[in-house]
Amino acid sequence: MSIWRWSQWLDAVPEHARITLGEGNTPLVRSRRIGPAAGLSRLYFKLDFATPTGSYKDRFAAAAVSHMVAAGQTRCVATSSGNTGSALAAYCAAAGIECRIAIVETAPEGKLQQMLAYGAKLARIRGFGIDPTVSSAVMDTVHRLGSQPGAAVQISAFAYSPLGMSGVKTIAYELNEQLGSDIDHVFCPAGGGGMVVAVARGFDDLIRDGRIANGPRIEVVQPVGNDTIATPLREKSAPRNVTCTTKVSGLQVPTVIDGRLAFEAARSSGGTGHAVSDDEVWATQKRLALEEGIFCEPAATTALAGALAAARDGWLARDATIVCVVTGSGFKDQASIQRMLDGTTCPLIEADDFARLS
């Protein structure tokens, strides 16, 4: 099973060029505790970290690298804060393609190690992912390098890699398969906004094919410190560049990349934007582990943080069917786990003392 079982709705790739590591087909689980406590009786989590490299970006990488194989390209030039790089590095390794990645300054060490293990060539760039001027300059360089013969730029955004991003649409196809048309809201975390666009377009495909009559409202959730889309969407203004201050790795995208597309996709679906603090994200990460048994990185909890804030503010009907996309594994960001545990350790004791532990 892979994203290629949905090939009729993806940009065409010859079967011999399709690269897969078994991505997609991730679990959908109903909330047992957090949803009911918030008055949301039909809250679901799409566990899109149950993938080969531990994040939903495997859907992107499978499509992107397969298109490179079909085109005879042998060098991938990319940017990443972590998950995109890990996914591209893995799929490039499987395809025998060289992978060179510009890394945002704040990328977690664990993600860098994962990329290096797959043989990717990395460079962490000071100010990248924080300063919009630096970020724009890096993008220009990546585009120039990726325009050389035999190379391709692979950035998980429709603005740069629409063929790869088509793979992310499969989230919508799977949700329809798992819940049918009975979905009222899908909450998506947003950095550059590509996931929002892909999920919305996936539901549009299902509407055009007659599988469903209407799609769900696509809700955009961002940290306050990288609020390029969410508040503008809520206030009916326009996406804007920001100086990124959030510490939520993976959502540090200070420039408007797919922001305008995400803005239109969410608005057309009837969705809106939700900005949450880093503290809300950290707290939600801890709650998902303690109350639902879901071990994920901070960026992956942002959608739920937004849904809980929307519920508190009276934006959601109590009987609405709500899906939060949980995008990355907790093993991706060790520093966030240390923060979550707050000094809790596993003691080394004698065997006779085990029964006396409280």
CATH number, domain 57-159: 3.40.50.1100
Residue 52 has pLDDT above 80, yes or no: yes
Q: Same CATH topology for 3-54+165-341 and 57-159? A: yes
Q: Which residues, including other chains, have CB under 8 Å from residue 323's CB and lie 6 or more apart?
A: 28, 44, 45, 46, 175, 179, 183, 185, 186, 187, 216
> Which has more pLDDT, 351 or 195?
195
Q: How far apart are CA 1 and CA 21, in angstroms?
A: 9
The three-state DSSP-derived secondary structure of 217-236 is: EEEEEEEHHHCCCHHHHHHC
Q: Report the pLDDT value the prediction gives residue 198, as an integer from 0 to 100.
A: 98
Q: Report the pLDDT value the prediction gives residue 337, as an integer from 0 to 100.
A: 80
Q: Where are the alpha helices (DSSP H) in 162-296?
A: 162-165, 170-179, 194-208, 230-235, 259-269, 278-287
Q: pLDDT-based confidence at 315, cuts 50/70/90?
A: very high
Q: Quick check: 221 and 306 in contact, CB under 8 A? A: yes
Q: Report the pLDDT value the prediction gives residue 190, as an integer from 0 to 100.
A: 96
Task: Tell me the per-residue pLDDT of 121-175, one tens digit each, with 9 for 90 and over.
Answer: 999 999 987 887 888 899 899 999 999 999 999 999 999 999 999 999 999 999 9
Task: Tell me the per-residue pLDDT of 219-237, one tens digit each, with 9 for 90 and over.
Answer: 999 999 999 999 999 999 9
Residue 248 has pLDDT above 80, yes or no: yes
**β-pairing verdict for 321-326 and 28-30:** unpaired
Q: Quick check: 101 and 120 in contact, CB under 8 A? A: yes
CATH fold group of domain 3-54+165-341: Rossmann fold (3.40.50)
**Average confidence score pLDDT of the chain:** 94
pTM of the model: 0.94
Task: Tell me the per-residue pLDDT of 80-130, one tens digit each, with 9 for 90 and over.
Answer: 888 999 999 999 999 999 999 999 888 888 889 999 999 999 999 999 878
Question: Shortest CA distance to 36 belongs to which of 287, 219, 282?
Answer: 287
**β-pairing verdict for 42-47 and 28-30:** antiparallel
Q: What type of residue is 160?
A: Y
Question: So where are the chain's domains?
Answer: 3-54+165-341, 57-159
DSSP string, 82-142: SHHHHHHHHHHHHHT-EEEEEEETT--HHHHHHHHHTT-EEEEETTTTT-HHHHHHHHHHH
Q: How far apart are CA 169 and CA 178, in angstroms?
A: 15
Please give the structure tokens belonging to residue 92.
């490039």
Residue 343 has pLDDT above 80, yes or no: no
Q: Report which DSSP code applies to 168.
A: G
Task: Tell me the per-residue pLDDT of 20-44, one tens digit each, with 9 for 90 and over.
Answer: 999 999 999 999 999 999 999 999 9
Q: Report the pLDDT value the prediction gives residue 331, as an integer from 0 to 100.
A: 87
304-328 mean pLDDT: 97
Query: Which H or E element spans position 298?
Result: helix 298-312
Task: Tell me the per-residue pLDDT of 274-299, one tens digit each, with 9 for 90 and over.
Answer: 999 999 999 999 999 999 999 999 99
Q: Quick check: 44 and 323 in contact, CB under 8 A? A: yes
Q: How far apart are CA 259 and CA 324, in angstroms?
A: 20
Question: Shortest CA distance to 182 belongs to which of 46, 302, 319, 305?
Answer: 319
Q: What type of residue is 192?
A: G
Q: pLDDT-based confidence at 353, cuts 50/70/90?
A: confident
Q: Report the pLDDT value the prediction gives residue 129, as an integer from 0 to 100.
A: 79
Q: Which long-range contacts (CB under 8 A, 24 or more apart) does 310-319 make?
A: 310/187, 310/219, 310/274, 311/38, 311/39, 311/40, 312/38, 315/272, 316/40, 316/185, 317/184, 318/39, 318/40, 318/41, 319/41, 319/42
Q: How far apart are CA 293 and CA 334, in angstroms?
A: 17
Q: Report the pLDDT value the prediction gives residue 358, as an integer from 0 to 100.
A: 62
Q: How many other CB atoms are found less than 10 A from the CB of residue 149?
A: 7
Please give the structure tokens belonging to residue 215.
């799609």
Q: What is the percent of the chain with per-residue pLDDT over 90, rounded to a whole number?
A: 81
